Amino acid sequence: MSDEFLGLLKPEEESNLGKILDEIIDFKKVFKDKAWLGLALETVDGKVFTMSIKALDDKLADKMPQNYKPEARVALLALIAKDWETVVNTAPGLLNKPIDIPGIDEDVELAILTGLVQVVYFAALAYANKQLTNK
């Protein structure tokens, strides 16, 4: 296979990201009151996630400014590798590029976004821990 590919991700990386979303999102739990719906969605969600990621990556990544692409790829590959520390460390810089809060220095904006990303990260860890201990 050639090293050329559309978007930020190679086809196998798109597939791996779809699998991760499939692992994270459990529609049987989301729709526990409607077990049939949760089971039906859980049957197809992995393929839908992968197809959606492929479509978004192949069609929209070209529209992303060139200076975002390397860092975005690093963050996506870290997500695929489940390297949460890299994801948390990369996300604020990515978010800070298009955001400009009038009257606030870029370093302060980055610090604010870093704090917000860390809050979301630790909230997700706390939620995951709670889910694991309730099993």
| pLDDT tens per residue across all 135 residues of the chain | 446 778 899 999 999 999 988 988 888 888 888 989 989 999 999 999 999 999 999 988 888 888 889 999 999 999 899 898 898 899 898 888 888 888 999 899 989 888 888 888 888 778 777 766 775
pLDDT for the residue 32 = 86
pLDDT for the residue 2 = 47
105-133 burial by CB neighbour count: b if 16+ within 10 A, else e?
Answer: eeeebbebbbeebeeeeeeeeeeeeeeee
Residue 89: closest CA among 74, 100, 104, 107 = 74
Q: For the chain, which residues make up each domain, given as ranges?
A: 1-63, 65-135
Segment (H or E) for 80? helix 69-80
Q: What letter does residue 135 receive in the DSSP assignment? A: -
Q: Model-level pTM? A: 0.72
